[in-house]
Amino acid sequence: MQVQALRNTATAEDVMEVLQQDGCAIVRNLVADSLLDAVYAELKPFIEATKVGGDDFAGYRTQRTGSLVARSQSFHQLALHPLVLDTAAKVLGPYCQKFQLHLTQAIRINPGEPGQALHRDQLVYSPFRFPRGMECELHTMWALTDFTEENGATRVIPGSHKWEDDRTPSPEETVPAAMPKGSVMVFTGSVCHGGGANNSQEPRIGVQVGYNLGWLRQEENQYLAVPPAVARHLPEKLQKLIGYSLGGYALGYFGDVQHPKEALKA
């Protein structure tokens, strides 16, 4: 068993087909190294200033750096990648009027970090259990370095998005999402996975970008991460994606039933 890998000419239909089967798919070499080098250069000072995690799940040798929309202009191209947005529209579209940006996080797993506990990302909404087949989140993990089994490539259980919630995943059932820098793994909130152990001498760096149903709370508070004074300068598409838009009739208004885009006026 492997995570199925598609070429970078894949369409959203192709990605969707693999997601329906497996809950995860790799698209190899989707963006140029130069874009990821620019993202990394812009994020490097923030990553270096980020403390490692304070519990087993976050990882005592793992740095998680957020607010990527505000901190890296080049990152916008990842968040708005057309193949990802088209795939998110297919996965999340049936359950909401609009999907939105859920979280942005650079994850640097440093040497010596053990494997993360296996989990489904949609557990953030615990104790609520989403019905099997209904996806509430779609995630991407962009490889800023090569992802290898040795350096801590995300470990996934293809097909586990169909499992009942009470089935416990075990490490033996996982496969590493090995992929070259510039590739992306797309995975649903329902698929079991976890960060891999880094047994190499170099950090493994990925950027996770999640999208979720427009009527759910976002995991990363986008209005604090990207307040109006910052959001005002973003492309309109990104303003809407992070939440300066209505998720449905009157869903997300402020003040006297004003549209959130009014908050972006100088």
Cα–chain center distance at 126: 18
Give me the residue label for tokens 């009014």.
Answer: 262
Q: Which is nearer to ligand AKG, 15 or 143 (CB)?
A: 143
Verify binding: residue 220, Fe ion, rule CB under 5 A: no
Q: Which does 185 bind (CB under 5 to 8 A by kind): Fe ion, ligand AKG, none?
A: none
Provide, rounded to whole angstroms, the least separation between the CB of residue 139 and Fe ion.
Answer: 7
Residues in contact with ligand AKG, counted by CB under 6 A, come to a total of 10
Q: Does 206 bind ligand AKG (CB under 6 A)?
A: yes
Nearer to ligand AKG, 200 or 232 (CB): 200
CA angle 252, 98, 42 (to 5 degrees): 85
Choices 42-50, 75-83, 88-96, 193-201; region in contact with ligand AKG by CB under 6 A: 193-201
Round to whole Å and give the CA distance between 186 and 139: 6
Contact range with Fe ion by CB under 5 A, out of 30-38, 105-113, 120-128, 216-224:
120-128
Please state the closest distance from residue 67 (CB atom) to Fe ion, in A. Answer: 19
Does residue number 121 form part of the binding site for Fe ion (CB under 5 A)?
Answer: yes
Figure out which of the listed residues 100, 145, 151, 154 binds ligand AKG, where binding follows CB under 6 A. Answer: 154
Check residue 247 for interaction with ligand AKG (CB under 6 A): no
Contact flag: residue 66 with ligand AKG (CB under 6 A): no
Residues facing 205 on adjacent strands: 108
Residue 195 contact partner, candidates Fe ion, ligand AKG, none, CB within 5 to 8 A by sort of partner:
ligand AKG
Enumerate binding residues for ligand AKG (CB under 6 A).
Answer: 107, 109, 116, 121, 141, 154, 193-195, 206
